[in-house]
Amino acid sequence: MVQSIEFNINLPTPLNISTPDMLFNMEETAYACSVPSSKEMYAKNMGDLPLEVKRIEVSGSECGLDGFMAHTCKGFSLEPGDSTKLLISYQSDFSAAMVHGDLELGLTSGILVIPMKACLPLYMFNLCKKNSILDAVEEIICSSPCHFPFMFLIYLVAYFLK
């Protein structure tokens, strides 16, 4: 029986932040920070009677909350000995380096609560948070009707900082 679900997230490969091609590194970092972490679990009826899961929630919300997502939200029934796959994922919004939640399986006999925790190393949290802020600023600037002067100014600043 699963006691808890933990997502210990790391960047897939070490990123070389000091290389001259910063645009490539920013794209590589953005991709690495946007990949969700997934756990595949199997629910198996080990008893002698049919088992009915009426609903699946994350911390009281249908399907997902705070970055946690149950990809199978609807209930299911299992005959004795049968099993089914459950996919749970976590996608950080980089508001915290550690997030807690609960996977809640609503059974006919009550609610089975499985605690979940997602942890990001501090270096990854800081890198991805900085990258998400830069993405938000870029989106604001690029959506503005007068974005050309801002882009030119950013280009000049980047040129002189080399």
Q: What is the pLDDT of residues 129-152, one digit of tens each?
A: 886 655 544 555 555 555 556 555
The domain that contains 140 carries what CATH number? 2.60.40.10
User: Total structural domains in the chain?
Assistant: 1
pLDDT at residue 155, as a whole number: 56
Q: In residues, how long is the chain? A: 162
User: What mean pLDDT comes out for the span 107-126?
Assistant: 92
Structure tokens given for 86: 């459950």
Q: What is the DSSP string of 39-91?
A: EEEEEE--SSS-EEEEEEEETTEESEETTEEES--EEEEE-TT-EEEEEEEE-
Domain residue limits at 21: 5-161
Q: How far apart are CA 16 and CA 25, in angstroms?
A: 7
Position 37, amino acid: S
pLDDT at residue 152, as a whole number: 58
